[in-house]
Amino acid sequence: MLDVLVVGAGLAGLTAARRLAQGGRRVRVLEAGETVGGRVRSREVEGFTLDAGYQVLFPAYPALRRNLDLAALDLVPLPSAAAVRRGKRVDVLGSPLSDPASLPATLGASALSFGDKLRVARLAARLLSPPAHTLLAGEDETTEDFLRAQGFSGAALDHFFRPFFGGVFLRRDLSTSARLFRYYFRMLMDGGAALPRRGMGEIPAQLAQGLEVRLGVRVTRLLPRGEYTTALTSAGEIDARQVIVATDPPGAAALLGEDVSRGSLGSTYLYYASSRALDDQPRLLLNGEEGLINNAAWLSRAVPGRAPQGQHLLVVTVLGLPDLGDDALDARVRGELSRWYGDASRELRSLGIERIPHAQFPQPPGYAATLPGHATRLPGVLLASEITSMSGIQGAMESGEKAAAILLGDLVALSRPRGA
Ligand SMILES: Cc1cc2nc3c(=O)[nH]c(=O)nc-3n(C[C@H](O)[C@H](O)[C@H](O)COP(=O)(O)OP(=O)(O)OC[C@H]3O[C@@H](n4cnc5c(N)ncnc54)[C@H](O)[C@@H]3O)c2cc1C
């Protein structure tokens, strides 16, 4: 009989399985989909490497460093900060620490007033000194309230913080917990953002190396039998001494029969090809105006190789799940892109639209106190998922580590604070 059955090959499940296998347990992972990685995956379309939506990696995430060989991921650092687009106007906002060459453009950028630029520097200095994980504790409020208390103007919020952190937290209203804002700001300062050269899918592929993973097998029910649990699956029954449910939160709620889900934030992505880059800007482009587009990136400029020779790849992020058919959505987004690129936007060829109903879960102030733990009401069944920690790669991986630590009796891992 298996020691541990892990349900779901997202980052939480794979991290748990890897830790358990390293601890000598006989582990099998069952994954309903056709690839490992869950929300972190990549696919090839006409020679373009498309991630699931626009995702980036913060190499400073501590759980990433503990569980992955970052050198083998061949990370390509992304240019710091962003460029704010207001129609044809582009304002570069670089980080003087990691990108000194961007300093003159940043100082001249009108998207942020001089006072707001000083406030960013003061905020950075304040967040740099404490241990990063302690930023997840302390007072909580919305990110907007926190930023206003720091003296930031409404223009700074609209031109920079809403679109930039809208891309991170998948909502533009800055209603996410300020603790998380401070932690992510610090992660960006500590390690910037990067992408694996061959796609985000390289992350789960590395985690899955050497593990027994069965793809295309959905677990439909878990039946505790005392000393072991029987999993009913699309490929028959499997018994295991312990089970770790590492599905997405809505899936976990269905399997566990308890309310572990905390809602869903959806997002939508439009992928475009063109034979020339319409923008010479390799930075993340932020929409500093009203519109469907929150942010966009010429990925092939930042990571050559994501597009075939002589081609370019643009990924556009639209927050939420607009109630528009593909053609209408494409037309609206093209209309907004034409404000940036004029008639040249006609050269864009659609590679597809991806709608992701559960990309993250909402994390308002105080959210952490409401999250479920690893124990479930089913004996012998543990939960591992971003939902026990925070929505993101760090949260998913540290959750997998903790669930494995419970079964391995690993006190060091168990006593590690969130975010550390
Ligand atoms: C578009 C997008 C952008 C993001 N951007 C970032 C970012 O920039 N930085 C960041 O840190 N995080 C980001 N995230 C969030 C991050 O990807 C997730 O928090 C993390 O991947 C969640 O991992 P998980 O293992 O908890 O869940 P999942 O990735 O959802 O994995 C769950 C797995 O369980 C499988 N499964 C479900 N039900 C069953 C079943 N019954 N039987 C078998 N298998 C099942 C699913 O198929 C899936 O593979 C983003 C997510 C998305 C979608």
Q: What is the pLDDT of residues 175-189, one digit of tens each?
A: 999 999 999 999 999
CB of 393 sitting under 6 A from ligand 1 = yes
pLDDT tens digits for range 67-103: 999 999 999 999 887 999 999 999 999 887 777 888 8
Task: Give CB contacts under 8 A, 24+ apart, made by 103-110.
Answer: 106/81, 109/84
For residue 120, with 0-12 CB atoms within 10 Å meaning exposed, 13-18 middle and 19 or more buried, which class applies?
buried
Measured at the CA of 194, the angle between CA 274 and CA 393, to 5 degrees, comes to 110
What's the pLDDT score for residue 223? 97
Cα 233 from Cα 5, distance rounded (Å): 12
What's the pLDDT score for residue 369? 93
Characterize the bridge pairing of strands 284-287 and 82-86.
Answer: parallel
Ligand 1 atom at minimum distance from 193 CA? 8
Where are the domains positioned within the chain?
A: 2-41+201-263+364-414, 91-194
Write down the mean pLDDT value for the chain: 96
pLDDT(342) > 80: yes
Which of the four pLDDT bands, split at 50, 70 and 90, describes residue 105?
confident
Longest Cα–Cα distance of the chain, Å, equals: 68
pLDDT(139) > 90: no
CB of 358 sitting under 6 A from ligand 1 = no
Q: Please, where are the H alpha helices in 211-369? A: 249-256, 299-302, 326-341
What's the pLDDT score for residue 1? 96
Q: Which of 55, 222, 391 to mutate to test the pocket of ligand 1 (most atoms within 8 A of CB)?
A: 55
Residues 6+ apart with CB under 8 A from 227: 241
pLDDT tens digits for range 293-326: 999 999 999 998 999 999 999 999 999 999 999 9
Q: Going by CA atoms, what residue is nearest to atom 48 of ligand 1? A: 38
CB of 41 sitting under 6 A from ligand 1 = no
Q: Give me the percent of the chain exceeding a pLDDT of 70.
A: 100
Q: Which of 51, 136, 248 to mutate to test the pocket of ligand 1 (most atoms within 8 A of CB)?
A: 248
Question: What is the whole-number distance in angstroms between the Cα of residue 359 and the centre of ligand 1?
Answer: 7
Question: What is the whole-number distance in angstroms between the Cα of residue 39 and the centre of ligand 1?
Answer: 4
Which of the four pLDDT bands, split at 50, 70 and 90, describes residue 66?
very high
Q: What is the dihedral of CA 232, 235, 236, 240, to 10 degrees?
A: -60
Q: Which of 39, 202, 262 to mutate to test the pocket of ligand 1 (most atoms within 8 A of CB)?
A: 39
Question: What is the whole-number distance in angstroms between the Cα of residue 73 and the centre of ligand 1?
Answer: 19
Q: Which of 30, 40, 61, 200 to mutate to test the pocket of ligand 1 (most atoms within 8 A of CB)?
A: 40
The two structure tokens encoding residue 330: 């494409």
CB of 400 sitting under 6 A from ligand 1 = no
Q: Going by CA atoms, what residue is nearest to atom 4 of ligand 1? A: 55
What's the pLDDT score for residue 315? 98
CB of 388 sitting under 6 A from ligand 1 = no
CB of 12 sitting under 6 A from ligand 1 = yes
Higher confidence at residue 103 or residue 198?
198
CATH of domain 2-41+201-263+364-414: 3.50.50.60
Which of the four pLDDT bands, split at 50, 70 and 90, describes residue 230?
very high
Q: Going by CA atoms, what residue is nearest to atom 51 of ligand 1? A: 359
What's the pLDDT score for residue 103? 84
What's the pLDDT score for residue 277? 85
